[in-house]
């Protein structure tokens, strides 16, 4: 079983950061290796929303179906893979102050046994941790840019 944790702070309010991450249309912009993130059905947020995705990890493309199993507005989103490799990704959002959010991610996964499982685990261990660090950096940059744009387009008071 693989387990990876990472967290970092970014300069945007927690509500804005959560909304940016929760919008499935933004996922391919910041999540490393994502080729697509497509809703299955009409529901696109909250517990029960399901997405098909393809994740490119080096020479391997993982085709997954994930379901949101936990959703607390402004605080937590947890995804569980229901097709593909078994795993869970939990995003946590916490206000450091009114303009800064700490984003944390915990990834837990389990690969099948045998030779194929060991080979897949080796690929995952090689790519997942650097991918998480890249994702966190990209996410901070994307949220900061989107937040800056929202401030620029806000009507003056």
- Check residues 34 and 113 and name the one with the higher pLDDT: 34
Owning domain of residue 141: 2-153
CATH number of the domain that residue 51 is part of: 3.30.530.20
* 13-47 as b/e: b if 16+ CB within 10 A: bbebbbbbbbebebbebbbbbeeebeeeeeeeeee
The pTM assigned to this predicted structure is 0.83
Q: Is the pLDDT of residue 124 over 90?
A: no
Would you state the pLDDT for residue 65?
Answer: 95
**Percentage above 70 pLDDT, the chain:** 96
Q: Which residues, in sequence order, are CB contacts of 141 under 8 Å at separation 6+? A: none
* Structural domains of the chain, count: 1
Question: Taking a C-beta distance cutoff of 8 angstroms, is the pair 101, 12 a contact?
Answer: yes
Q: Tell me: the pLDDT tens digits for 65-105?
A: 999 999 999 999 999 998 877 889 999 999 999 999 999 99
Q: Tell me: the pLDDT tens digits for 57-74?
A: 777 788 999 999 999 999
């Amino acid at each position: 079983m693989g387990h990876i944790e990472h967290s970092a702070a970014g300069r945007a309010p927690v509500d804005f950061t959560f909304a940016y991450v929760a919008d499935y249309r933004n996922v391919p912009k910041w999540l490393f290796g994502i080729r697509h993130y497509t809703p299955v059905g009409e529901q696109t947020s909250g517990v029960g929303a399901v997405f098909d995705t393809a994740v490119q990890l080096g020479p391997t493309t993982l085709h997954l179906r994930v379901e949101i199993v936990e959703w607390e507005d402004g605080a937590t989103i947890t995804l569980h893979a229901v097709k593909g490799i078994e795993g869970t990704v939990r995003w946590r959002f916490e206000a450091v102050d009114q303009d800064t959010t700490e984003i944390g991610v915990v990834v837990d996964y389990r690969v099948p046994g045998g030779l194929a499982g060991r080979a897949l685990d080796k690929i995952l261990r090689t790519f997942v941790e650097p991918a998480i660090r890249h994702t966190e950096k990209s996410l901070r940059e994307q949220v900061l840019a989107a937040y800056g744009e929202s401030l620029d387009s806000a009507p003056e008071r």
